Amino acid sequence: MSSSLPLKVVVLGAGSWGTAFAKVVADAATAAGSNRQVVLWGRKPEAMAQMASTRINEPYFPGVKLPDNLEFTSDVEQALHGAHIVVLAIPAQALRAQLEVFAPLLEPDAVLVSLAKGLEMGSGLRMSEVIIEVLQGNLVAIDAPSETISGVADRVTVLSGPNLAKEIIVEQPTTSVVAATTLKTAQKVASICAADYFRPYTNTDIIGVEIGGLVKNVIALCVGMCEGKQYGDNSKASVMTRGLAETTRLALALGGKLETMSGLAGMGDLIATCSSPLSRNHTAGRLLAEGIEPDQLHTVMSQTAESIKSAPVVAELARKVEVAMPITEAVVAVLNRTISVEQLAPALLGRALKSESDHIS
């Protein structure tokens, strides 16, 4: 790509988080006085044409005007041509299939940003690992140089934190974390999304940031169940605190850093997702407690609660690395109908007594 061209950022996925993040990037460009090109891609031509005409994503954010400097398209080849930074706002379980289509169209030095929070069913891979695997496979297929193939990991970043899209779209202040193998790459991504209401921090703990972002969805499902059974704040605070403990155990076992778990991608994201009725996973847990079956949630929710599919994968990963995750296991038991929501509290409180200091051992 020619360095003389303005920076081009493409967000793939015009759902709630993809749309909100595209707005952040467009607003950040305006605030910086930059001529950066910002493009939002969605797979439905009619929907994207409507957005281009009205500048409103009616299904997700009715009445909210999107920035004048944000472009819309359903042509992925056109969107990715010349793109320096590609943001993947695609559900975790659809990421591999979609990226296999996108990979041949990517610029060879494009930086990729993952917004998805989950583990891939079947492989148990984190989203950054899925991205690296697909991109490396594409490069092998075209017989790219070995250094190009090995360098893919340095171009993959993840963004996570307390990021409820419905708050961000109306410019309520929030913070986030961008993680990459090097601070230079993380800072490059942070620079394109630093808006007046959105502050990105950086680190190099991709594992910790991803584990924090995906396990909190499972814990939020449990807190939602507490909400649905009309348990009080003591119950919910207990689940959140012990949930952070088991998230920390898993992150450390996989190579993540302790300080990440006490930061925005750990505690921050956990608090927001577990506490807010805007959280789709919190909502799913409440609906389960109110009697909706797991396989019927899609009939009463317009958005996907990633934890329904990722909870069993998280539990499997924890068993593989011999990490105790009792809340996650209990949630999986509810989803599998092994126990009822009513049996959830006794299952957790009836465990053997232990020291609280064992939470990271």
Q: What is the DSSP string of 98-137?
A: HHHHHGGGS-TT-EEEE---SB-TTT--BHHHHHHHHHHH
Helices 307-320 and 280-289, axial angle in degrees (round to 10): 90
Q: How many residues does the chain have?
A: 361
CA 112 from centre of chain: 14
DSSP 8-state class, residue 60? T
Provide the 3-class DSSP secondary structure of residue 156: strand
Residue 179: what pLDDT? 98
Residue 361: what pLDDT? 47
34-61 burial string, b = 16+ CB within 10 Å, else e?
eebbbbbbbeeeebbebbeeeebbeebb
Q: How far apart are CA 246 and CA 351, in angstroms?
A: 15
Provide the 3-class DSSP secondary structure of residue 43: coil
- Specify which residues 8 forms β-bridges with: 37
For the chain, residues with pLDDT lower than 50 are 2-3, 361
- Specify which residues 200 forms β-bridges with: 176
Q: How far apart are CA 237 and CA 260, in angstroms?
A: 20
Token digits of residue 305: 């609660």
Phi/psi for 106 (5° steps) reads -75, 145
Token digits of residue 193: 């999304």
Give which of 75, 78, 95, 55 is closest to 8, Cα–Cα.
78
Residue 351: what pLDDT? 67
Q: Is position 216 annotated as part of the catalytic site?
A: yes
Token digits of residue 310: 């990722």
Contacts of 355 (CB under 8 A, 6+ apart): none
Average pLDDT over all residues of the chain: 93
Active-site option among 216, 236, 309, 320: 216
